A and B are shown apart, each in its own frame.
Chain A
């Protein structure tokens, strides 16, 4: 390992106990604002009987505690974060400036419409752009995350089928390469999923699809490009087959980054698509949010869009709440506006004429990495990839090294590992998504690290790989123990 080449070194790094384990006992180190009168008398039976157990840390100690924990973290602002199927792209600072404008950041969801015309205008504008980008002109911005968008989309499909008298259609076809959220969304809508086995090329197999399409089929849920990084080249025929069977096509927009400004899911025949704006249009995410999962639909599903809907009148914008056909509200407010404002800023920065650079650069970057790595790592599906490249540990297995070892060694070399063991249809999968925001130098450094690991395997120098990581603040975690004996509360 050549320390000069990679950036990971140890330095001022602090061990940090849980906040409750800090040794203080004096809760008076927290100064609460002046309390007037006898609070306990006022609380009556609502008064707490047991001590709240608030750790007695002073303000600087509290700040240090959380900052130290944050320094254990990895983010796109610390380094490359090539999580396949998750689109971890850089969030430009201008997005933050826009989202922090007082007129956008300091408004309340319950303010009167005439006092929030600016934010409504920006949301309406974003709706229009997402409709144009997806080729599905009717858009709701409400869903608070991708999986929430899936739920909204399937609720609309359910409502549409019910309105057609197709209450019996409850089968949702899901390729075996799908995201785990797809079956969960179907189940929440009272439907059940049937898995479609992928063809030998990792794509949907038309014969397998035909075999499962019947009068009980409600929808096909698919991701295009799929999670193996391959474009579903039979997409038009797939959509036609599903429509001929009286069912609808749901598009999981997790991989929209490969298509932005180049191809539109609506033109392919997809009826409904959720868009992970926090991924495709660059807003900070991970660790549970916030995200946003707007859903775009065609004419067939438009009557069922959630309310309230943002509408444009002659001079003003307003919220329309009345609809006989809507599936109702998906959120207590009109959307995660902070995330949506950043998405608006990212799209504005590119503009209509340059938006295609997002997809083209993302696809080029992934193929550049594939070209550099394809001799050292097994490529399960031959040919060009879309915005992510898929490798496996097949060659390294011969030396007793697995995907997990490779991932852990990357940590020692200063990189967040790629997505591992997904998609499930590929044994020992490593899914790398560089996105359009990384430089060639960064891509080269990551490829160099992977090539070095492959060379270590060939040289039989595998001990270091099995022991990795040694430079991180925690060594290899016992994932099995964490799953079998999770400790979720303190003490």
Chain B
């Protein structure tokens, strides 16, 4: 089985995987980082979004071996010293989550939105940018609010 080594949330990790192992399977099953979820098998729901080399990707649509040598950030890697990242805090403050299942992917996508669009986001931009993340609980209203507020907080 091929060996993979990558840096996940600042930690060097390695393992042997079948080539058909998806990145999300490696994260969830080998590393037991179960914050990243799987909600579909057609690369649409976004529950599995992580950052690879600083960019959002759907970890259900990338082989673990493709991430060999990469820096990977998952939802578990955002909080520092026990305090939540401003985007996580914004989701809490604005009730941007209900069942929590889509939430890790939403937060990781939100950070990618801020990285590319800055801290002053309008509603239309956020809604368009969330195209690849499906939520059944919130009706998106409070997710949009959360992303805008989180983006603003990140700039402060």
Instruction: Indicate whether A and B interact.
Output: no
Which B residues contact A (CB, under 8 angstroms)? none
Which A residues contact B (CB, under 8 angstroms)? none
